[in-house]
Amino acid sequence: MPRSASLALWLWAVSSTEEAAAAARTVVDDDEPHQLAGDVPAGLDTPTVGSLFSAWAGRVRSVAAVFPGPGDAMGVPAPVSARAIDAEECVLVTVVADAPPAPLVPAGPDAPEILEHWAFAPEVERFGSDLEPGHLVTWHGVRVDPWELRTVGAVGTLDDAQRQLRLGLREATEALMELDVSKWREDAAGIIASLREPVDLRSVLPRGVDARRAEVFQSAARLRAIVDLATMDDGGAVNLWQADQRSTALREVDRAARRAMSAATLHVPADD
């Protein structure tokens, strides 16, 4: 579960401070408590993800996790693009600002919402051993311009994501079978078999995530896992041409999977 996807889904789901602590625990998982750095939103008790959930509960208007890659920025705002591409993920959020009252601004339900637009890219530092690994995670925040229109254009819809996933899976299967990828590694068969098993995401997804989003997210995660496995070594490619053919096929599959995963986390009001 990419950290950015988890953070985006739970930021959207949390509507009260009572839900904030449980959401933060799910996002942090086995990591050390996630810290915030860079531009830190006002009103936080401490610069942590837990405080962010509490402060923004019920105030999130748009959110998306975006997974840029080399040569494919996926519409990430310029102020965060370097960190996001380095991390290959980031979270974009629009929240209702805690604006001070102004004499000329109507109060009450007729008062216009003042929105703030944010981007957070994670920096992950690994420590410990292979048997007992640990991770220090710092989310670098920055204020950005409205991002919704560009991101929707870059990511596409859930319908687009499902079509691209089906096409990507077919193309990947054909390309990898032609290149005899069963000879990648001795343990490849077992790993591939495990990727065919259904994955129960209910423990890490908010209760309100609909089945279609969960299905797209799960399929995209599986495809990315297959790409990770396929790119561990040169496998069955016996010459540079085969290696290049497989690399090109997998790059397109990974691109489709990254966009699908982002589409499954994207929540934007219809009028945006």
Report DSSP letters for the chain, one per residue: --HHHHHHHHHHH--SHHHHHHHHHHHHTTSSPPEEEES--TT-SSSBHHHHHHHHTTTEEEEEEE--BTTB-TT--HHHHHHHHHHT-EEEEEEE--PPP-TTSPPGGGSPPPEEEEEEEEEEEEEE-SSSEEEEEEEEEEE-S--HHHHHHHH--HHHHHHHHHHHHHHHHHHHHHTTGGGS-TTHHHHHHHHHS----TTTS-TT--HHHHHHHHHHHHHHHHHHHHTSS-TT--SHHHHHHHHHHHHHHHHHHHHHHHHHH-B--TT-
Does pLDDT of 264 surpass 90?
A: yes
Query: Which residue has better confidence, 193 or 13?
Result: 13
Same domain assignment for residues 83 and 213:
no
Mean per-residue pLDDT for 252-260? 87
The answer to whether residue 265 sits within a structural domain is: no
Same domain assignment for residues 148 and 13:
yes
Same domain assignment for residues 147 and 227:
no
Same domain assignment for residues 137 and 44:
yes
How many domains in the chain? 2
Does pLDDT of 93 surpass 90?
A: yes
Same domain assignment for residues 68 and 186:
no
The answer to whether residue 39 sits within a structural domain is: yes
Same domain assignment for residues 169 and 252:
yes
Mean per-residue pLDDT for 254-260? 89
Same domain assignment for residues 202 and 217:
yes
Same domain assignment for residues 112 and 212:
no
Confidence of residue 104 (pLDDT cuts 50, 70, 90): low
The answer to whether residue 26 sits within a structural domain is: yes
The answer to whether residue 268 sits within a structural domain is: no
What is the pLDDT at residue 147?
96
Same domain assignment for residues 181 and 89:
no
What is the pLDDT at residue 108?
58
Q: What spatial distance separates the first Cα and last Cα of the chain, rounded to whole Å?
A: 28
Domain span at residue 13 reads: 3-155
Same domain assignment for residues 10 and 132:
yes
Same domain assignment for residues 206 and 255:
yes
Same domain assignment for residues 196 and 164:
yes
Q: What is the pTM of this model?
A: 0.86
What is the pLDDT at residue 207?
84
Please say which residue of 155, 182, 205 terminates a domain: 155
pLDDT tens-digit map of 14-38:
999 899 999 999 999 999 999 999 9
Please say which residue of 130, 155, 180 terminates a domain: 155
